[in-house]
Amino acid sequence: MNGHVEDWLAAYLDGELVAGERAAVESHLRGCGACARHLEELAAVDAAARELPVGAPAGYFDSFPARVRARLPVRRARRPPAWVWAAAAAIVLAALTPLTFQKTTSPVPDAPRTGETDAFRPAPTTPPAAAPAPAEGLLDAARDRGAAAVLERNVAPERKDEKRREKEKANATAPAADGRTSEYAAKLRPQPPPASSVQKHSGPWAQSPAAAQAQTAARGEEAQQEAPPEPKKQAEPAGKSDRDQARAGALADAPPPAAAPAFAEAPGEDRYRALLGRQASSPEAARKLHDDWNAFARGHPDSPRADEARVRAMEASALAFDLGRDPRDRERAREAAQAYLARPDAGQAARVRALLARLEP
Amino acid sequence: MAPEDPESGSAAPLPARAADHASMADPSEGDLLDKARGGNLFAFEEIVRRYQRRVYATAYRIVRRHEVADDVAQEAFIRAYRSLDRFDPGRPFGPWICRIAANLAVNHVRSPEAREDALPDGHAEMPSPAAGPLQGVLDAEARAMLDQALERLPAAQRAVFCLRVFEELSYREIAESLGISLGTVMSRLSRAREKLREALTPYLSVPGRAGSEP
């Protein structure tokens, strides 16, 4: 190493040089005061930067944990192991099989299902979700594998077990039956099922075993053929679709599955995130942001985001005042803050009080 | 209105890493994380309380705006909560959550919105920072100069500098976090340090002012 080693100093300082490089730099430093001084200055820069304080508004950390909690999605409780579902299915089948045999002289009009005979077999050795289900040309195997891979990459870790079971269902699992992309798959979770297929998406994975049994019993014979309900239904015969609609009506009064909202995000999540990402650099933009946050809060009064939206709205007014010094903006923010503090559910009072204090003339 | 120092804990003015280490030594943190995995939001809220200052500081140093740092810090905790099943309980939580925050912050500064969103003049929305433990290193003037120089750094260079100096990530970890090559990490870090060094040169060269007299 003949010349100066300035280009190596940062890596030397960070301990990122290999032994030979390090030895060469150290050798050079012993004989070069300029590089040695340069190294000291770089180290001083790091040390000084580490001591730079990072300020936050007063009271900010008082309300921060609660604000985060208000935005947390509800986590699904851990599911019972697969054998519990297998046992539950076995019990249901054992109870219902005699009834089914009694009705064999009265065939179901639109039930030429390939899996029908499976329903009469003794207790299954697999969990309900892995029970045989008709492929009926919905997906070819390659497409299924591709969709499964996409979902595997995008699925949240808490759904890995579910995804594994869905893989086992081979042709029956149809998250990609409608050609959803990986991005859509990521969004799949928060989307509520269509009203006409409520029971299709609320399979036993989303219910307590007791609820699953109760629903299965209510369905009678059909329950045997379809237990557990599969998420794919779109390509089934029209008669089957009619039957599903009728069943959906029959189940309308049933209580929602216990874990149904587990992965559901707050309503208006996309809009909420879009608002979060907006920055206002002019008073007009800040006022528009205020209006949009308020509209969100009014449009989703029961959302866990509504509280944050109300606070964000008044903060946007305060920002409009900061940017334009229009006292009307300050007054709007102050009124909103005072109204917020009068609410019985003011969860971010400390944050709003800090805002009010800042807005004092 | 006195600002809060994100680097100081609520109980004792420990440096951030020391505070995190202390909390990691608290066996109840494992319990909290376990409960949080089971869906206990209040347990996770306690985790947030313990790490909020460090996470906010990580975000703020990169994005340099309180509003954005607030969003980034919140989002970091939310993403961590969603990924708790993927978190190895045998590893410290602090570096993990800070890396999430750093990645989010870097994504923000690389976004078109961030580029269009000019920084406010003189940090109008931020109170002036409280006096920190600056003994022997910088006086107020040099500190302000360094702060401005940090702010003037291109976001990509600032991100690399922050991940290295504040988060103490290795070059390889920085490269993986930002999706860039090792060579890019080295060049950005070198440029960032040189710019900061130049900004501090008057102070570094005056005996007794910067604590690094050559």
Residue A15 lies in a domain: yes
Burial B146-167 (b: 16+ CB within 10 A, else e): bbebbeebebbbbbbbbbbbbb
Closest by Cα among A141, A147, A145, A136 to A176: A147
Q: How confident is the model at residue A137, as a pLDDT?
A: 31
Alpha carbons A148 and A167: distance in angstroms, whole number = 7
Q: How confident is the model at residue A212, as a pLDDT?
A: 37
Q: How confident is the model at residue A100, as a pLDDT?
A: 60
- Examine the pLDDT at A99 and tell me if it is beyond 70: no
Residue that wins the pLDDT comparison between A267 and A283: A283
Q: What is the pLDDT along chain B (214 residues), one digit of tens a residue?
A: 455 555 544 333 333 443 444 444 454 688 899 989 988 888 899 999 999 999 999 999 988 889 999 999 999 999 999 999 888 888 888 888 988 998 898 888 777 665 555 444 333 333 333 333 334 445 778 888 888 999 899 988 998 999 999 888 899 988 887 888 999 999 999 999 999 999 888 877 544 444 433 3
> Chain A, 280-309: which have a CB under 8 Å from a chain B CB?
281
- Examine the pLDDT at A324 and tell me if it is beyond 80: yes
The neighbouring-strand residues paired with A56 are B4
Do A134 and A217 lie in a common domain? Answer: yes
Do A99 and A245 lie in a common domain? Answer: yes
Residue A56 DSSP SS3: strand
Do A96 and A46 lie in a common domain? Answer: no
Question: Chain B residue with minimal CA distance to A43?
Answer: B212
* Cβ count near A27 (within 10 Å): 12
Q: How confident is the model at residue B142, as a pLDDT?
A: 82
**Two tokens, residue B93:** 């939580």
Do A249 and A278 lie in a common domain? Answer: no
* Cβ count near A84 (within 10 Å): 12
Answer for the pair B61, B165: CB distance below 8 angstroms, yes or no.
no
Of A47, A50, A53, the CB nearest to B5: A53
Residue that wins the pLDDT comparison between A292 and B25: A292
Residue A301 lies in a domain: yes
Place of tokens 């307590």: A208
Q: How confident is the model at residue A255, as a pLDDT?
A: 33
Answer for the pair A201, A193: CB distance below 8 angstroms, yes or no.
yes
Do A159 and A212 lie in a common domain? Answer: yes
- What ipTM was reported for this prediction? 0.72
Q: How confident is the model at residue A77, as a pLDDT?
A: 54
Question: Chain B residue with minimal CA distance to A9?
Answer: B190
Confidence of residue A54 (pLDDT cuts 50, 70, 90): confident
Alpha carbons B49 and A49: distance in angstroms, whole number = 25
Alpha carbons B40 and B178: distance in angstroms, whole number = 32
What's A303-348 look like in SS3? CCHHHHHHHHHHHHHHHHHHHHCCHHHHHHHHHHHHHHHCCCCCCC
Residue range of the domain that includes A143: 82-263
Answer for the pair A3, A31: CB distance below 8 angstroms, yes or no.
no
- For residues A37-50, give the mean pLDDT: 88
Handedness of CA A336, A339, A344, A350 (dihedral sign): positive
**CA angle in degrees (0–180, nearest 5) for A247-A251-A253:** 150
Answer for the pair A150, A182: CB distance below 8 angstroms, yes or no.
yes
Alpha carbons A312 and A297: distance in angstroms, whole number = 10
Domain ranges of chain B: 15-117, 132-214
What's chain B look like in SS3? CCCECCCCCCCCCCCHHHHHHHHHHCCHHHHHHHHHHCCCHHHHHHHHHHHHHHHHHHHHHHHCCHHHHHHHHHHHHHHHHHCHHHCCCCCCHHHHHHHHHHHHHHHHHHCHHHHHCCCCHHHCCCCCCCCCCCCCCCCHHHHHHHHHHHHHCCHHHHHHHHHHHCCCCCHHHHHHHHCCCHHHHHHHHHHHHHHHHHHHHHHHCCCCCCCCCC
Do A246 and A272 lie in a common domain? Answer: no
Question: Chain A residue with minimal CA distance to B187?
Answer: A7
Residue A196 DSSP code: G
- Examine the pLDDT at A188 and tell me if it is beyond 60: no
> pTM for the whole thing?
0.46
Do A221 and A163 lie in a common domain? Answer: yes
How many folded domains does chain A comprise? 3
Do A139 and A248 lie in a common domain? Answer: yes
Alpha carbons B102 and A271: distance in angstroms, whole number = 24
Residue that wins the pLDDT comparison between A238 and B35: B35
Q: Which CATH class is domain B132-214?
A: mainly alpha
Q: How confident is the model at residue B113, as a pLDDT?
A: 64
Answer for the pair A197, A170: CB distance below 8 angstroms, yes or no.
no
- Examine the pLDDT at A247 and tell me if it is beyond 60: no
Residues A209-236: tens digit of each pLDDT: 343 343 433 333 333 333 333 333 333 3
From chain B, the residues in CB contact with A54 under 8 A are 5-7, 56-57, 60-61, 129
Phi and psi for A56 in degrees, rounded to 5? Answer: -135, 150
Do A142 and A38 lie in a common domain? Answer: no
Which of A223, A248, A263 lies at the terminal end of a domain, its last residue?
A263
Residue A10 lies in a domain: yes
Do A311 and A163 lie in a common domain? Answer: no
Answer for the pair A314, A340: CB distance below 8 angstroms, yes or no.
yes
**Two tokens, residue B157:** 């260079």
Q: How confident is the model at residue A83, as a pLDDT?
A: 67
Q: How confident is the model at residue A206, as a pLDDT?
A: 34
Q: What is the CATH number of domain B15-117?
A: 1.10.1740.10
Residue A237 lies in a domain: yes
Q: How confident is the model at residue A163, as a pLDDT?
A: 44
A65 to chain B, closest Cα gap in Å: 5
Instruction: Please report, rounded to a whole number, the percentage of residues in chain A having pLDDT higher than 70.
Output: 49
Q: Which helix (H) or strand (E) holds A21?
A: helix A19-31
Of B39, B125, B186, the CB nearest to A77: B39
Q: Looking at the complex, does the CB of residue A1 fall below 8 Å from at least one CB of chain B?
A: no
Q: How confident is the model at residue B48, as a pLDDT?
A: 95
From chain A, the residues in CB contact with B66 under 8 A are 56-57
Do A250 and A285 lie in a common domain? Answer: no
Alpha carbons A92 and B1: distance in angstroms, whole number = 66
Do A216 and A331 lie in a common domain? Answer: no
